[in-house]
Every structure is written in structure tokens, then in C-alpha cells.
């Protein structure tokens, strides 16, 4: 089970780009990298998923280097509403019990 390490918290200002890096040194061949966002008193919400290189959707980008030992979630031009906890998950797509294993997450605070 690949363990992930993320910063506990980050601060940013409105309009800035935020990059949250996740370390997963023992990622395995069948592991995918997935990021979720959680607001207080709500369930997590899927942001983005990738295996290698770069993935982009309407919300964020995910950068994964060739060795896949880390990944970076990039949020362009954040707003106050992006204040939330962001979780990096690394899991084996062949194992449902492993795919959605949450760590401690990164608490992002966006300031005006």
C-alpha cells in the first residue's frame, strides 16, 4: 500500500496559482493517483486522476514526473471558495479496498 505524504497546511491569496505536492515514493505499477477536495461538513469530491505525465480538466491540473514518486495538484487562480482540505490518494485499480485510502490531507486556506 503506497503511503502518501502531503503538507499539513498551506496559505494562499485570491487569484494566485496554488501547487500542492504529494510524495509517494513506493508507488506501484498498477497504482493511480487521485485527488479529492473536502469542504467542512461535506463528503469529499473528486477533482482529478492520473497515471503519468500531465492531466488537465476544467478545475485543476495534475503533474506526474516520469518516476511517479510524487505528484503536484495545480489549482489556477484560486478563490475564497477553494478553501478546503485536499487529499492525495494512491491506489491499486485492481483492489477496491486499496483504491480509496485517505491520508491526512492538506488544509488550504485562501485569503482575500
* Residues making contact with another protein (CB under 8 A): 32, 41-46, 49, 87, 91, 93, 96-97, 99-105
Q: Quick one: 21 or 38, whose CB is closer to another protein?
A: 38
| Least gap, CB of 94 to another protein (angstroms) | 8
Q: Interior CA angle at 72 toward 64 and 84, to 5°? A: 145
Q: Quick one: 75 or 87, whose CB is closer to another protein?
A: 87
Q: Quick one: 43 or 112, whose CB is closer to another protein?
A: 43
Of 50, 49, 35, which Cα lies nearest the Cα of 84?
Answer: 35
Q: What distances in angstroms separate CA 12 from CA 16, 77, 101, 110, one per listed residue?
A: 7, 10, 27, 5
Amino acid at each position: 500500500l503506497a503511503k502518501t505524504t502531503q503538507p499539513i497546511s498551506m496559505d494562499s491569496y485570491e487569484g494566485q496559482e496554488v501547487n500542492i505536492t504529494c510524495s509517494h515514493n513506493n508507488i506501484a505499477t498498477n497504482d493511480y493517483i487521485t485527488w479529492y477536495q473536502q469542504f467542512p461538513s461535506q463528503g469529499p469530491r473528486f477533482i482529478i486522476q492520473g497515471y503519468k505525465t500531465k492531466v488537465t480538466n476544467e478545475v485543476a491540473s495534475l503533474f506526474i514526473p516520469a518516476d511517479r514518486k510524487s505528484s503536484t495538484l495545480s489549482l489556477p487562480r484560486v478563490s475564497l471558495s477553494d478553501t478546503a482540505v485536499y487529499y492525495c490518494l494512491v491506489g491499486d485499480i485492481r483492489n477496491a479496498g486499496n483504491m480509496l485510502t485517505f491520508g491526512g490531507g492538506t488544509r488550504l486556506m485562501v485569503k482575500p
